[in-house]
Structure 1
Amino acid sequence: MPSHQQLLQSYQAADLLDSALKKVAVVNRIKPNWAPAGNGFWYAKALNNNDVSYLFVNASTGDKRQLFETQRLREALEKLTGLSQKERFWITDMFTGDQDRSITFKVNDKWFYCDLKSYKCMPATDTTMKHYDPEAPLQTRRYRWEEWTTDSASADKKRVAYIKNGNIYIKSLLNQAEVQLTTDGTTDKPWGNVTWSPDNSHVVAYRIDPRKSKNVYYVLSSVPGTTRGELKSHEYDQPGDEFTTYQQYLFNVDTRTKIKTETDKIDFFGAPVLHWRKGNSRYFTFEKADRGHQRFRVIQVDVTTGATRNIIDEKTKTFIYEQRIYTYYCPDTHEIVWITEKDGWRHIYLVDELTGKEKLVTTGNWVVRDIDSVDTKKRMIWFKGSGKNAAENPYNMHFYQIGFDGKNLVDLTPEKGNHQLSYSPYRKYFIDTYSEVNTAPVIVLKRMGAPKAVHMLEHSPVNDLLATGIKLPEVFVAKARDGKTDIWGVVYRPANMDPAKAYPVIENIYAGPQDSFVPKSFSVINEMQSIAQLGFIVVQIDGMGTANRSKAFHDVCWHNLADAGFEDRILWMKALAAKYPQVDIARVGVYGTSAGGQNSAGALLFHPEFYKSAVSACGCHDNRIDKQWWNEQWMGYPVGPHYEAQSNITNAGKLTGNLLLIVGEADNNVPPESTFRFADALIKNNKMFDLLVVPGMGHSDGGKYGRLKKRDFFVKHLLQADPPERNRGEKAVL
């Protein structure tokens, strides 16, 4: 164990290393600012001396040159404005003119023009520029849970539909004649969400049974200029709450007749988007995700009869990950591009709307992570995936293109690493950035269709970084609880690690099933590395129950959030200790925020034999208190006894370790009462713990103050040393 003086030196050494790392410029990514024609772009590059270089790249040749002398431009701007530009000279917007002999640029929200021959600057008068997002997909994405509005006017603009006193009315825009389609609507149970058919003959509408969302509350205790706390509230749906329902009907506008479609009420999300069959107003389709996340359908409706047919009908005994459902409709060919995990891995299917026949586009024991774009004319799909390259980390992202027929698969990013792409206008070129946690980023320009034709843009050396004394993280792999599946994680060690000593382990945990969370890309600044400097080995692990592996890997979380992959995490740390004697798993701490706050507290309650100390920030300690859409996705609906059985609040009496709870009083993500109820249960069970409530703070780990408290807490309980007495300004001199 370190002495108090040694510990103070560790704190100062950690601060000095953090400061040194901030001065090292490693280019992790660039933001290309493409010319409208897509033939070139400029980007900013941070330099070690806190300066910035601005570079222009000719895309066809790969030639790269400095766009201007930054120091001369800074001096010219200081002369014009009289304001010092000593801080990092950061241009937020810029475009070139006069064949790149002048620039118009924006600094600190003001536009300027500069002649690059004389470096004479003046306030800009013409600042019109076309913004292009190099990461935007070809298609605009729309999600089922987003509200949408429809045009109240018919396609021929001769009539308009609207709601009055809860009923549907149609008015002619030619003679203002009004027709009432319904009479049974009320303001309490109105009709609504009216949509016209493309041929103007029908409208689709819904009988709505509204349910108002309930409120949650918090008090702002320390508002300046007041002497009383301010009560705040906002709508917040919790698991089991009732939702507004929508019953779908069809109306023939001319005959004024209505038909109830042969489908259930929609009791999850709102009224759906309708996809009309091109050139045929008799049929439309819509998507329906059932509450409980165990069934997803694409339903076809016959407007003339109200009859329905399921084009896609996916059911599962566990869950369908709602936020990862992808559908794209190809109106010219009556096809749907669809992603599903129904074969055990997340893959792309092509569905024929007319026959319902499905065809696999991608296949194998790897994961399609998302579709970037679909080109219906070329019958080509651009997507990103992981796990296909067997020789590397299965979470590393790669980008591909493939034909609708599942042929001609091309890996646009064959190099080993975790890739991020951005595209030029018209997608003739793309920029590929790839790295790993311990491999510096490589940034290259490629031509679409010829990914090996590469122009190197940036590859930062790590010499300056290593000169600070930092140890790069290690990627470590061990077997899961089944003895077969690989579990991946990272390890951070102190820069001055003594191989003859043993170090406590601290796990940074976030076991939320919505994603995977272990860093995959290179980063200079990392809190885990900073904590390690105090004398710890810090790790982060993606255990079973998290996403981006097989369906079976993910399903571990179903009705089982308390599991949090702990069995896999513990085996992983034991394997790490077996390989490295410096790893002391008799002293293990854990910290996390939000779902990680739930997990870190749960580590002490459910695995006290392994975890000894925990810092839990803004945790969702009972899944019945937290947000409906997240918790029902994994814990299911209706709310069953497993919710209570897995609650940290219910299990508070099991606490044996050291626990620090942190919560912001203004948290509007996870209600603060989740932490307060947990604290109440701990008190009633006569359990000792620490509680930090941060006035005015929202959903957070406690900010800078909370992070200091976290470090001090682990120092006290895992190193058995007294942290700095900050109230007395205690410091050490190296």
Structure 2
Amino acid sequence: MKNHSVRGLIGAAAICCLLPFNLSAQSKQQYSNIADALMSAGKLRGKSGPQSVNWINDGEKYSFISNGDIRSLNPKTLADELVFTSKGLKTPGTGTDFAYQSFQWSKDSKHIVFQSNFKPIYRRSGVSDYYLYDIETKQLKEAAKNARSAELSPDGAKVGIERKGNMFVYDFATAKELQLTNDSTDEHGIFNGHYDWVYEEEFGQAQAWNWSPDSKYIAFWQFDEHKVPDFQMTNYEGLHPDNINISLPQVGDANPSVKIGVVDATTGKKVWLTPDETGDFYIPRIYWTNNPDELALMTLNRAQNHMKLYFFNVKTGAHRVVLEEKNNTWVAIFNFYTNVNDMIYFPKKSKEFFWVSDRSGYYHIYRYGYDGKLLNQVTKGNWDMLKVRGINPETKTVYYLSAEASPLEQQFYSIKFDGSKKTRLSQLAGFHDVDMSPNTKYYLDEYSNLSTPLHIALNDDKGKTIKLLEDNKEVNEYLKGHDYSAPELFKFKTSDGVNLDGYVIKPFNFDPAKKYPVVMTVYGGPESHGVFNRFSGNGWQQWLAQNGYIVVDVNNRGIANYGSEFMKVVYKQLGKWESHDFVETAKYLGSLPYVDTAKLAIMGTSYGGYSTTYTLLTHPGVFKVGIANSPVTDWRLYDDVYTERYMGLVGDNAEGYKNSADMTHAANLKDHLLLVHSMSDDNVHPANTMQLLTALTDAGKDADLRIFPKGAHGAAYSFQSYILLSKINFQYLERYLKGKSDLPNLNSSK
């Protein structure tokens, strides 16, 4: 249950800027209204450096988008060249100007496959037309129409295509398309090459097939979701509103049955790969190994605490298990919040692979041979390894980001395969994110801290800066003329002896002799992270600071980067420790002389919405106001992959599911609660809010409700709707936290 809608709207606002005002020497400019504050996010975040970076020529160059053109930069010479321009280019077979939404490079960096006319389906997927561009001849030709995905083969001779649940391959030499599968049925039946809703959402991928490195085969997922219940929603648009049906398993429901096929891209011959599993299980990942005709296939039991890695011969189907991982809680293979797509890595030109596990109590890298034998643990210590960013088999070096310096930071390191010669490559304190070239010679480092706006540097593999690509001096210039309250980090110990980190944003013109209301803006979900030593560009929080609010967030238990004991204490009891820590934070804030403990609010979206409702209902009277956007209110109403990972199977944890549900505690409500939801939310279904309202009504309790029929997850569906939602939230705080009654009409033009 991840919040993404509002993040996109704020990004759209980044292209806007504030209107200039005359500044006096004595004062700085403040926001004239909420819209100004929200649009200031672009000014505060500054430039984001090269756009759509792709490493090409095995890492000797990277491409990026500049003013709509694709250019390349050579880190060795710093030569900047034009690679592609759409100026004057027409869509093949038409007279219209060519336009695209995204693109991918061929393995040899001689061709670009463009995605055009994209029509979204789920979070990551959609239907598009695909076109192939030849870098040398500058010719553009059609590759696939109305396809969910298309990808050039590694040898550049064919294009693999998934269309309407079947796999195809187009051969450029023969100019013919070969259909590789023909067993797709209706929309909610059997289909190949794309994921169902829950796999795409919770295992984090959109394309459910992979070319083999030698271009001989395509390995693909096949789904059969006949037994999966449908979720139905509508946005109530039109005279006869359409209902959208999505096959989506909730907790305890039947999952789609899944299997992996491998098809010869020339003959169409198929082999099905059958692991030795029984009952309900997932196949979240497949990987081509460096052995010819060998595919690695990962299985995960439904409870997601037992992973197996199989190696299959794709010609015969023969297989063996090379790795098993068991855990008393869950085995992680993907992390939405940190953009970690894999916990297992198969470097090229190597007969070794690397697996990330928290078996020691912290996430670390382990090195294995293809025979399944553990060669050694690569990283060690009472800190979490966060992301593997590069592996070089020739120098036997792994490059990774970790929280070793601080759970509030990401720092970049290199280490040898045997665990020796660990070297910290990033030096500035703060948050670093790294995009490393495939040959590990270079990397782009995006970094900031609480007092340093975003910087982007091109570095070599020793951490030496080759070129500073962006320093965002404009942000510092902007701050010279505008009020801004930077987050300040704090740490305190809870009553049960656990240290928690947080940040506080104080009001503009802060006076420690005064008492201020507090708004806690929370998320709090397992494996996420809220507080970093990173520059803040949140216009909404700055608006609250301008209007006399203290803004607070905290890294509650369940959050990542503090080790498994801290994170996994929430297992089978979501809500309990998160709400406990929010209340402990409120108690800590109450010890500060400038906090008005009678005026505390808590608000959040998605999991943050659940954190808000559950805290109000299980700890009544601590927070006077709660604003919950798109909240889960009963985990039995959420999808099974996410929920069962953290709550276990419902048959094994019936009491835990009951205790974690808001409805169980509805009679406890004594504070002001605003619920916000969209009727078109396919992530957290509106049934969550509606069932909570019924439980509150049955208990004689009242809450306020705001519905956005057209919105998706996060409710707002445009920047205008985001402004209105922000106004609604702000007036709710003003009315019930500050006690104001003379609030302006939101429909007025003032």
Superposition TM-score, scaled by structure 1 size: 0.70
| Partner SS, residue 585 of structure 2 | helix
Distance of 2:296 and 2:72 partners within structure 1 = 48
Instruction: Give the Å deviation of 1:691.
Output: 0.8
1:449 maps to what in 2? 462
Query: Contact 1:14/1:533 (CA < 8 Å) preserved in 2?
Result: no
Say which of 291, 294, 298 aligns to 2:309. 298
| 1:373-452 map, 5 Å | 373-386=390-403, 388-389=404-405, 393-423=406-436, 428-451=441-464
| 1:290-689 map, 5 Å | 290-300=301-311, 310-324=321-335, 326-329=343-346, 333-354=350-371, 356-386=373-403, 388-389=404-405, 393-423=406-436, 428-451=441-464, 457-458=470-471, 460=473, 462-480=476-494, 482-483=496-497, 485-518=498-531, 520-578=533-591, 580-639=592-651, 640-641=653-654, 642-689=656-703
Query: Contact 2:531/2:554 (CA < 8 Å) preserved in 1?
Result: yes
Instruction: Give the Å deviation of 1:396.
Output: 1.3
Instruction: Give the Å deviation of 1:662.
Output: 0.7
Pick which of 311-320 and 709-718 moved more: 311-320
Distance of 1:204 and 1:468 partners within structure 2 = 55
- Does 1:692 find its partner at 2:691? no
Distance of 2:529 and 2:284 partners within structure 1 = 31
| 1:75-224 map, 5 Å | 96=82, 211-221=226-236, 223=237
Query: Contact 1:479/1:568 (CA < 8 Å) preserved in 2?
Result: no
For residues 682-733 of structure 1, the C-alpha deviation after alignment (integer angstroms, 9 at most, x for no partner) is 11111011111112122114432222111111111110112523157385xx
Whichever residue aligns with residue 734 of structure 2, its letter is V
Structure 2: tracts of 5 or more residues without a match: 1-28, 91-96, 106-123, 126-147, 152-187, 194-208, 263-270, 336-341, 717-721
Whichever residue aligns with residue 714 of structure 1, its letter is L
Instruction: Give the Å deviation of 1:545.
Output: 0.8
Distance of 1:191 and 1:12 partners within structure 2 = 52
Instruction: Give the Å deviation of 1:276.
Output: 6.4
| Partner SS, residue 601 of structure 1 | helix
For residues 248-277 of structure 1, the C-alpha deviation after alignment (integer angstroms, 9 at most, x for no partner) is 999xxxxxxx99978223633359637567
Query: Contact 2:436/2:442 (CA < 8 Å) preserved in 1?
Result: yes
| Partner SS, residue 587 of structure 1 | strand
Instruction: Give the Å deviation of 1:289.
Output: 0.9
Query: Contact 2:40/2:539 (CA < 8 Å) preserved in 1?
Result: no
Q: Structure 1 residues 568 and 424 mapped into 2: Cα distance closer, same or farther (>3 Å)?
A: same
Q: Structure 1 residues 35 and 232 mapped into 2: Cα distance closer, same or farther (>3 Å)?
A: closer
1:119 maps to what in 2? none
1:240 maps to what in 2? 252
| Partner SS, residue 37 of structure 2 | helix
Instruction: Give the Å deviation of 1:132.
Output: 8.5
Say which of 724, 728, 739 aligns to 1:709. 728
For residues 534-580 of structure 1, the C-alpha deviation after alignment (integer angstroms, 9 at most, x for no partner) is 221111112011223201111122011112523223333433443x4
Query: Contact 1:663/1:672 (CA < 8 Å) preserved in 2?
Result: yes
Query: Contact 2:49/2:470 (CA < 8 Å) preserved in 1?
Result: no
Instruction: Give the Å deviation of 1:586.
Output: 2.7
Query: Contact 1:266/1:288 (CA < 8 Å) preserved in 2?
Result: no
Identity percentage of aligned residues: 23
2:745 maps to what in 1? 726
Whichever residue aligns with residue 396 of structure 2, its letter is R
Distance of 1:127 and 1:196 partners within structure 2 = 27
- Does 1:227 find its partner at 2:239? yes
Distance of 1:588 and 1:718 partners within structure 2 = 7
Q: Structure 1 residues 710 and 728 mapped into 2: Cα distance closer, same or farther (>3 Å)?
A: closer
Whichever residue aligns with residue 716 of structure 1, its letter is R
Instruction: Give the Å deviation of 1:582.
Output: 1.2
Aligned residues: 602
Q: Structure 1 residues 330 and 465 mapped into 2: Cα distance closer, same or farther (>3 Å)?
A: closer
Instruction: Give the Å deviation of 1:523.
Output: 3.3
Q: Structure 1 residues 723 and 674 mapped into 2: Cα distance closer, same or farther (>3 Å)?
A: farther
Instruction: Give the Å deviation of 1:631.
Output: 0.9
Q: Structure 1 residues 630 and 648 mapped into 2: Cα distance closer, same or farther (>3 Å)?
A: same
Instruction: Give the Å deviation of 1:197.
Output: 12
Instruction: Give the Å deviation of 1:415.
Output: 1.6
Q: Structure 1 residues 431 and 272 mapped into 2: Cα distance closer, same or farther (>3 Å)?
A: closer
Instruction: Give the Å deviation of 1:340.
Output: 0.6
Q: Structure 1 residues 322 and 272 mapped into 2: Cα distance closer, same or farther (>3 Å)?
A: closer
For residues 367-412 of structure 1, the C-alpha deviation after alignment (integer angstroms, 9 at most, x for no partner) is 11122232233322222222x11xxx42311222222222222222
| Partner SS, residue 633 of structure 2 | coil
Distance of 1:721 and 1:394 partners within structure 2 = 40
Instruction: Give the Å deviation of 1:526.
Output: 2.7
Distance of 1:205 and 1:35 partners within structure 2 = 26
Aligned residues: CA RMSD: 5.0
Distance of 1:239 and 1:433 partners within structure 2 = 39
Whichever residue aligns with residue 571 of structure 1, its letter is E
Distance of 1:30 and 1:192 partners within structure 2 = 38
Distance of 1:196 and 1:471 partners within structure 2 = 50
Query: Contact 2:609/2:632 (CA < 8 Å) preserved in 1?
Result: yes
User: Which structure has the bigger radius of gyration?
Assistant: 1
Structure 1: tracts of 5 or more residues without a match: 1-9, 46-54, 64-93, 98-103, 113-124, 134-144, 152-187, 251-257
Query: Contact 1:41/1:58 (CA < 8 Å) preserved in 2?
Result: no
Q: Structure 1 residues 437 and 195 mapped into 2: Cα distance closer, same or farther (>3 Å)?
A: closer
Distance of 1:613 and 1:620 partners within structure 2 = 18
Q: Structure 1 residues 382 and 660 mapped into 2: Cα distance closer, same or farther (>3 Å)?
A: same
Instruction: Give the Å deviation of 1:486.
Output: 3.2
Whichever residue aligns with residue 526 of structure 2, its letter is P
- Does 1:286 find its partner at 2:297? yes
Instruction: Give the Å deviation of 1:668.
Output: 1.3
2:138 maps to what in 1? none
| Partner SS, residue 462 of structure 1 | helix
| Partner SS, residue 286 of structure 2 | coil
